[in-house]
Amino acid sequence: MSIALLLVDLQYDFLERPGLLPSQRDLSSAIATVLEHARTRGIPVLHIRTRIDPAGHDRMPHWKAAGIWACVTGTRGVETPPEFSALGDEAVIYKPFFSGFGNPQLEQTLAESGVEELWIVGLYTHSCVRATAMDAYERGFRVTLIEDCLGSTDTLHAHLTREYMDGRSAVLKQSGELLQLHPEPMVHYCPTRQSLAVAVVPYTSKSAIRQITAGARRAAIAWRRTSLASRRDVMRKFAKRLDAAAEQLLTAMITDLGKPRGAALDELQRAAGHIQQALALENNESIDPSTGVVYEPHGVVAIVTPWNNPVAIAVGKLSAALILGNGVVWKPAFQAHNISQMVLELLQGAGLPEDLVQIVNGGPTEVAWLAQDPDIAAVSVTGPEQAGRTIAPICQSSGKVLQAELGGNNALLVLADADLSRLAPVWARLAFGFAGQRCTAIRRFVVERTIAGKFEDLMLDAIRTLHLMHPELDTCDVGPVISLRHLERIDSAVQSAVARGARLITGGSAWECAEDACYYLPTLLADLEHDDAMVQEELFAPVAVMQLADDFEHGLALVNGVRQGLLAGIASRSASRYQEFVQQCDVGIIIDGDGLQLHPAAPFGGRKASQQGSPEHGIWDREFFSRAKACYRSAGT
């Protein structure tokens, strides 16, 4: 059967739209692999592109109504990145609307080549890809959508599109499956010694995930019958084993993640606190006579944990899920592979039944497979915003419970009456500690205009006192960033901001003294517009911006004026201003500018794009990891 590869709308105006998932980098990498395969094997490649006349008469009606101009002839936006340029014998077919078949040249070219099957990659799944695929199906072509090579800015409609089309008008396959490729293992290098590979992690296949979740379901049935007292005994033993292994875990966090020793110690203390809070959770499956309510476990839950807090976050989720009677399938970040294996071994050594907790390795694709698995009843994710946007439609369409803590773009409002001299060193650590790789890090300083100069001078002094050194040292404040790739991403974002007019107060480059390591200097930027990407997006880096506010009300509007809403703080001597800030700030966590010490029993969660579902920790864990059932019985029966 003759096959052709269609590349749909791989143009700058579409690739660079905010919210694209997968990211442009990941998408481009996957498409490049398929494109190379097609060219090597002589599969015809056709480039489908949108092109609009500068006069705009051929724009789609909804573009005209919304004032959208994209892919206009003569602009950069209509062009495609060099890696997707058409070779001499490859057809380029232009369209003004959704479907590539809107241009008769596409069908004619396919007919001349005797093509019967189409592989489709590109943008966007929910619109041009869908329209092209549906028109191809109507014309009698077999259609394969290469799932990891499709991007969208509308994750819900993209998911519904894939779910509806698969098995009807198209077949969905991963590129590795289609090309019969075995993905290279994920490799993580030591942040302080890039020549040292500390973890080589193979991907877990879809069939293996199916076996793992089925095994966890069987184990969870027996675990649910175990008494609450017995479950607590296992977790108490786990707590003791975790404490005994503290130095090993510290060493692994320092070596594998570049986490400063002090921050790693704090994480271990929080992990112990989460276990104690989980031990206090009640999950009596007999009817509570006072309320007529039964709390039951879900069965098997999937948990997805990040690399930056690989012990505390994982232990918090695991301990609550297990105490409440669930089995767990755990997808940790591959950078924390060694640490996650250590935690699992400590848990199993405490007497946990075989198969009750199992690890799956991979990335967004494997997380999606987990969420789609019929044996998974609930999903708890801590990660970047795009992780939640990817997984939410899957859970929504399948009726699964989702808890997602998705980071923040946190601001500290500094008013004129704040104790600047005393608190500037505290704020420097809130922003740049652990190289800003904490979801609670301060990324925006919203400063009352009348004290901007003084704030800038004091912050510059405070930043200069931060200890940028090897993370194994007790006095290390900052440490390296997680990888060379992340370092390059940070520097690119900073240089782009400066090119747009940002003023660099300090930093703005990698640390020249750190050869073979991933250190980036603590960086403070100013003079950015509020809608600038550096203000609006979470960079997860030792980079902060200074925004100027006319007064409290203006400052509050700037604090609230981002998509995220995890944490915010106010620095003021006024108790009434603090109360007003608490009432009006649209975040889940408020601090007073004097620092942050998380309590394991307090709810951890945000608002807006920073949170989906219930918060983490404390009594809120029971609301997520178990289900309430109301039971009514007539008197005397």
3-state secondary structure 478-534: CCCCCCHHHHHHHHHHHHHHHHCCCEEEECCCECCCCCCCCCECCEEEECCCCCCHH
Question: What is the C-alpha to C-alpha distance for residues 307 and 174, in angstroms, rounded to an integer?
Answer: 26
Answer positive or negative: Cα dihedral of 353, 383, 589, 426. Answer: positive
End-to-end CA gap in the chain: 70
Position 182 scores a pLDDT of 79
Beta-carbon contacts of 635 under 8 Å, excluding residues fewer than 6 positions away, are none
Alpha helices by DSSP H, 280-384: 312-323, 337-349, 364-372
- Spatial neighbors of 563 by CB under 8 A, at least 6 apart, are 385, 409, 536, 608, 609
Residues with Cβ within 8 Å of 148's Cβ and at least 6 positions away in sequence, in order, are 22, 30, 174, 175, 365
Q: What is the C-alpha separation between 272 and 315, in angstroms, rounded?
A: 8
Please tell me the predicted confidence (pLDDT) of residue 362. Answer: 94
Q: What pLDDT shows up at residue 280?
A: 92
Rounded-to-integer distance, Cα 198 and Cα 624, Å:
34
Q: Which residues pair with residue 197 across a beta bridge?
A: 189
For the entire predicted model, the pTM comes to 0.91
H or E segment to which residue 294 belongs: strand 293-297
The whole-angstrom separation of Cα 185 and Cα 637 is 61
Question: What amino acid is encoded at 344 in this protein?
Answer: L
pLDDT confidence of residue 444 = 98
Show the DSSP H helices in 288-336 as ranges: 312-323
pLDDT in tens, 129-149: 999 999 999 999 999 999 999
Write phi, then psi, for 454 (nearest 5 degrees): -65, -45
DSSP state of 139: T
Q: Pairing relation of β-strands 589-591 and 186-190?
A: unpaired
Phi, psi of 329 (to 5 degrees): -110, 125
Residue type present at position 418: A
Q: How far apart (Å, rounded) are the C-alpha atoms in residues 244 and 434? A: 25
| Low pLDDT (below 70) residues in the chain | 1, 284-291, 635-637
Contacts of 323 (CB under 8 A, 6+ apart): 228, 231, 232, 235, 278, 279, 281, 283
Strand pairing category for 626-630 and 293-297: antiparallel
Is the distance from CB of 185 to CB of 202 less than 8 angstroms?
Answer: yes
Distance (Å, whole) CA 468 – CA 127: 48
Here the tokens at position 310 are 């690989």
Helix 420-432, helix 452-464: angle, nearest 10: 60
Q: In the structure encoding, which two tokens stand for residue 467, read together?
A: 């200890």
Angle formed at CA 240 by CA 239 and CA 246, multiple of 5 degrees: 90
Helices 228-244, 312-323: inter-axial angle, 10-degree rounding: 160
The pLDDT of residue 159: 93
pLDDT of amino acid 291: 67
How far, in Å, are 112, 139, 141, 318, 550 from residue 116 at the CA level? 11, 10, 5, 50, 64
The pLDDT, as a whole number, for residue 414 is 98
Other Cβ atoms less than 10 A from the Cβ of 93: the count is: 20
Would strands 327-332 and 357-359 be described as parallel, antiparallel, or unpaired?
parallel
Give the pLDDT score at 548.
Answer: 98
The predicted structure's pLDDT at residue 180: 84
Q: What does the pLDDT read at residue 514?
A: 75
Residues 6 or more apart in contact with residue 88 via CB below 8 angstroms: none
Q: What is the pLDDT of residues 533-584, one digit of tens each?
A: 999 999 999 999 999 999 999 999 999 999 999 999 999 999 999 999 999 9
